[in-house]
Chains A and B, each alone.
Chain A
Amino acid sequence: MSVQQLFGATRPPAQLLLRGAHALDPRSDLDGPADVLVRDGAIAEISAAGALAVPDGVETLDAEGLHLFPAFFDPHVHLRTPGQEHKETIASGTAAAAAGGYCGVVAMPNTSPTLDDASQLRAVREQAEREARVPVGFMPAITRGLVGGELTEMAELRDAGALGFTDDGRPVVAAGMLRRALQYQRLCGGVIALHEEDPSLSGHGVMHEGAVSARLGMAGIPSISESTMVARDAAIAAYEQARVHFQHLSCVESVEALAAWKAAGARVSGEASPHHLTLTDETVRSLDSRFKMNPPLRTEADRQALIAGLRDGTIECVATDHAPHARHEKEVPFEEAPMGVTGLETAFPVIVVERMTAGAALLDLPTPRVAVGEPANLTLVDLGESWEVGARGYASKSGNSCFEGRTLRGVVRLTLAAGAVAHRVEVGVGAAA
């Protein structure tokens, strides 16, 4: 790829021997105890556990009893920079990513101002190069100001390093506008990622429309608000032979529409979030605004459809839609609270490996792998240890996790991103044996 698309602070390349961890990477056919040698930030050797000698200048980590995975990649996070740094900064958001075992994240453009021109993209790139702990990619807006009126200068943005385009947080309401963006994609490339929602169906909805919203007297967002737009836009994508990715799918009907259009040959893909895969609208009975996000948590049948879609490949990857909000913004009545929950620090123990790395391929980026010659994008996890979410705070600036208070199994001990140590929990590493 000629244009650089991921941007992070330059950090000293790791020199590490990870000894005895159970290495697991289906793409490299790895599933067993191994020694993995990282030299100058790249994976230099993989061999049977205990077989490798320690070269000079290399630190050894006794990782027996821990699990080693290719580090994860998240195609959908909100770093809130510029404009809402009280919620998150590039530094804190990427620290949260590293703490969650991620080696790369993609930032959404609904910042203030909107990321919709090349000069702004260059400014956030530079900021990422100063402070990002793991590399960050950027997806600028499809339409200026996210209002659906006119296209951004997509070709210039691509030349400036845009991975793709999204109006995330809002749908592209007019079918004609989306069609034009998809036509223009043929000129400049870059995936078009869509937040699917029909505003006339969502109305003032704040949660899933169903028995729970009826009980609570809160306006509902029906499943068809999302699924009709997925079906519409997949049809347009097929017609234009364009590359379209559907963000944060939440309901049965959307998974069915995606599967049908894939079977028909459309170049469409989908993602699901850890919270939609694990929680339902029943949690909203608590009236706790940490369970408020868009799209909303839906029913058990929807949750099961997402899991099935992830298993059979209809949905390509897990994406957190990490959406930090300050405590005071969430400590209000449910209907008043902003949409969104954090996710980077809890995704892995919630979901476990499967499709945690697949987000990179959606954006034509290399998938992190545990293989000789690959850059060291590795995460070392203690699956034997449990932790209470939030008990020791967060690396993210915001604590609006919908998993707060839950006990999750699996602690990320070490993250190597782009060959450098991005996260390391000193206590416990090497002491697990």
Chain B
Amino acid sequence: MTVLDGAGPLAAPRHLLSIDDLDRAGIERILDRAASFGEVAEREIKKVPALRGRTIVNLFYEASTRTSSSFELAAKRLSADVVSIRAATSSVTKGESLKDTIATLTAYDPAAIVIRSPHAGAAQLVARWTDAAVVNAGDGKHEHPTQALLDVYALRRRLGALDGKRIWIVGDVLHSRVARSDILAFARMGAEVTVAGPPTLIPRGIEALGCTVATSLDELGEADVIYVLRMQHERMSEAYVPSLREYAMRFQVDTARLQPHQLLMHPGPVNRGVELSGDAIDSPQALITQQVEAGVVVRMAVLYELLAGSGAAAEAPAPATDRAEAVPTA
């Protein structure tokens, strides 16, 4: 492999902690791999033996339905042994117990640890403490890279390339790790990203991620894709907006605002009647179900790329026979 300077493509990463670990070619490699697994998913037997005999730990410090179940299913479809842990979080000693927990889990010699944590940088810390490949399944309000990859995957299947597409991310950007990873991933794939929401929910300095900011939906008609974020009721106690009613009047995406040429996305779970109206969710432009479907194959691709694909660490190659069987032609 050639040694590349800073301007060249990123080396295949050992972990997936942030979208910043991937350049455009790296994202495309994962999405192409996901597409090939998509063919497997259409077979009657949806399993490939790529990670047979290897252990994947899912460590979730936050409630999650679709992310944890899709990681679990992805690992099982790759024939890995899966241990899923839903850890209760205490307040201050959480970090300590995280380090201790990782030390304990490392004793099982896992090939990968998938971690979700309420704290930014937790996945990065875990990567420092273990030899396993680490996948960030959401850390605080920082990043959720596999969500961004599945969003790009679902969009690519509908639109082809994202180059020049206008994508509006609408709602509570301040508290959204999905927004941060999506801004980075969409921009890297050539889209023009705008974030829109009440100024109290748009973090100061967000433009530095490569997006423009709007504080109304007046220009929403220019968007090719509207990506609506979940409005979290518990935030309302801190009065970021005066009321959900006023928020919905200004920022709810409904069929009056959603135009026929526009695609609609949402990371789930949706608050019907708050950020999205019921009829918008059920409209033909909505990709929400496709996003969920993409979750399994994209996470299969991430695990495969880190553990058995071109990015796999030299110390843990998949047996050649497995690899030959496992890789469907993309």
A interface residues (Cβ-Cβ under 8 A, vs B):
209-218, 220, 222, 287, 328, 331-337
Q: Tell me if A209 and B205 are in contact (CB < 8 A).
A: yes
Residues of chain B with a CB closer than 8 A to A337's CB: 95
- Beyond A287-B121, A332-B98, A335-B120, 6 additional pairs, beta carbon < 8 A: A211-B207, A215-B180, A217-B120, A220-B204, A331-B125, A333-B121
Residues of chain A with a CB closer than 8 A to B330's CB: none
Residues of chain A with a CB closer than 8 A to B208's CB: 211, 214-215
B49 sits at the interface (CB 8 A): no
B140 sits at the interface (CB 8 A): yes
The 25 sampled A-B contact pairs (Cβ below 8 Å) are A209-B204, A210-B204, A211-B205, A213-B205, A215-B180, A215-B205, A215-B208, A217-B140, A217-B142, A217-B143, A217-B176, A218-B141, A218-B142, A287-B125, A328-B99, A332-B99, A333-B94, A333-B120, A333-B122, A334-B120, A335-B119, A335-B120, A335-B121, A335-B140, A336-B95
Residues of chain B with a CB closer than 8 A to A210's CB: 204-205
**Nearest chain A CB to B191 CB, angstrom units:** 18
Residues of chain A with a CB closer than 8 A to B206's CB: 211, 214
**Nearest chain B CB to A39 CB, angstrom units:** 53
B92 sits at the interface (CB 8 A): yes
Q: Tell me if B124 and A218 are in contact (CB < 8 A).
A: no
B147 sits at the interface (CB 8 A): no
A35 to B160, CA, bound (A): 80
**Nearest chain B CB to A215 CB, angstrom units:** 6
A328 to B326, CA, bound (A): 43
A333 to B139, CA, bound (A): 10
Q: Tell me if B141 and A217 are in contact (CB < 8 A).
A: yes
- With both beta carbons as reference points, the residue of chain A lying nearest to B179 in the complex is identified as A217
A214 to B204, CA, bound (A): 6
B96 sits at the interface (CB 8 A): yes
A35 to B280, CA, bound (A): 85
B268 sits at the interface (CB 8 A): no
Q: Tell me if B120 and A331 are in contact (CB < 8 A).
A: no
B interface residues (Cβ-Cβ under 8 A, vs A):
92, 94-96, 98-99, 117, 119-122, 124-125, 139-143, 175-177, 180, 203-209
A160 to B203, CA, bound (A): 49
Q: Tell me if B99 and A331 are in contact (CB < 8 A).
A: yes
**Nearest chain B CB to A395 CB, angstrom units:** 26
Residues of chain A with a CB closer than 8 A to B92's CB: 336
Q: Tell me if A287 and B120 are in contact (CB < 8 A).
A: yes
A212 to B206, CA, bound (A): 9
Q: Tell me if B119 and A333 are in contact (CB < 8 A).
A: yes
Residues of chain A with a CB closer than 8 A to B209's CB: 214-215
Residues of chain A with a CB closer than 8 A to B204's CB: 209-210, 214, 220, 222
A337 to B119, CA, bound (A): 11
Q: A335-B120, A335-B140 are in contact. Are A214 and B203 (CB under 8 A)?
A: yes
- Out of A209, A216, A220, A222, name the residue touching B120 (CB < 8 Å): A216
Q: A214-B205, A217-B143, A220-B204 are in contact. Are A332 and B96 (CB under 8 A)?
A: yes
**Nearest chain A CB to B193 CB, angstrom units:** 14
A337 to B94, CA, bound (A): 10
A287 to B176, CA, bound (A): 18
- With both beta carbons as reference points, the residue of chain A lying nearest to B175 in the complex is identified as A217
- Out of A211, A218, A331, name the residue touching B95 (CB < 8 Å): A331
Residues of chain B with a CB closer than 8 A to A332's CB: 94-96, 98-99, 119, 125
Residues of chain A with a CB closer than 8 A to B141's CB: 217-218
Residues of chain A with a CB closer than 8 A to B117's CB: 333
**Nearest chain B CB to A379 CB, angstrom units:** 37
Residues of chain A with a CB closer than 8 A to B94's CB: 332-333, 336
**Nearest chain A CB to B199 CB, angstrom units:** 13
A333 to B91, CA, bound (A): 12
- Out of B99, B140, B176, name the residue touching A218 (CB < 8 Å): B140
A334 to B121, CA, bound (A): 7
Residues of chain A with a CB closer than 8 A to B176's CB: 217
A218 to B174, CA, bound (A): 9
- With both beta carbons as reference points, the residue of chain B lying nearest to A338 in the complex is identified as B92
- With both beta carbons as reference points, the residue of chain B lying nearest to A203 in the complex is identified as B238
Residues of chain A with a CB closer than 8 A to B119's CB: 332-336
A209 to B94, CA, bound (A): 25
**Nearest chain A CB to B303 CB, angstrom units:** 24
Residues of chain B with a CB closer than 8 A to A216's CB: 120-121, 142
Residues of chain B with a CB closer than 8 A to A218's CB: 120, 140-142
Residues of chain B with a CB closer than 8 A to A215's CB: 180, 205, 208-209
Residues of chain A with a CB closer than 8 A to B143's CB: 217
**Nearest chain B CB to A207 CB, angstrom units:** 10
**Nearest chain B CB to A287 CB, angstrom units:** 3
- With both beta carbons as reference points, the residue of chain B lying nearest to A336 in the complex is identified as B95
Q: Tell me if B121 and A213 are in contact (CB < 8 A).
A: no
- With both beta carbons as reference points, the residue of chain A lying nearest to B183 in the complex is identified as A215
Q: Tell me if B125 and A333 are in contact (CB < 8 A).
A: yes
Residues of chain B with a CB closer than 8 A to A209's CB: 204-205
> 8 closest A-B pairs (Cβ-Cβ)?
A332-B95, A217-B141, A287-B121, A333-B119, A211-B205, A211-B208, A214-B205, A214-B203
Counting chain A CB atoms within 10 Å of each CB, the highest count among B92, B121, B124, B125 belongs to B121
**Nearest chain A CB to B92 CB, angstrom units:** 7
Residues of chain A with a CB closer than 8 A to B95's CB: 331-333, 336-337
A232 to B142, CA, bound (A): 35
**Nearest chain A CB to B145 CB, angstrom units:** 13
Q: A217-B120, A333-B125, A335-B119 are in contact. Are A212 and B142 (CB under 8 A)?
A: no
A23 to B176, CA, bound (A): 57
- With both beta carbons as reference points, the residue of chain A lying nearest to B173 in the complex is identified as A214
Residues of chain B with a CB closer than 8 A to A334's CB: 119-121
**Nearest chain A CB to B188 CB, angstrom units:** 14
Residues of chain A with a CB closer than 8 A to B124's CB: 287
- With both beta carbons as reference points, the residue of chain A lying nearest to B92 in the complex is identified as A336
Residues of chain B with a CB closer than 8 A to A331's CB: 95-96, 99, 125
Counting chain A CB atoms within 10 Å of each CB, the highest count among B140, B207, B209 belongs to B140
Q: Tell me if B98 and A217 are in contact (CB < 8 A).
A: no
Residues of chain B with a CB closer than 8 A to A336's CB: 92, 94-95, 119
- With both beta carbons as reference points, the residue of chain A lying nearest to B208 in the complex is identified as A211
Residues of chain A with a CB closer than 8 A to B99's CB: 328, 331-332
- Out of A217, A287, A328, name the residue touching B177 (CB < 8 Å): A217
**Nearest chain A CB to B10 CB, angstrom units:** 16
**Nearest chain A CB to B210 CB, angstrom units:** 10
- With both beta carbons as reference points, the residue of chain B lying nearest to A337 in the complex is identified as B95
**Nearest chain B CB to A266 CB, angstrom units:** 31
A333 to B177, CA, bound (A): 16
Residues of chain A with a CB closer than 8 A to B205's CB: 209-215
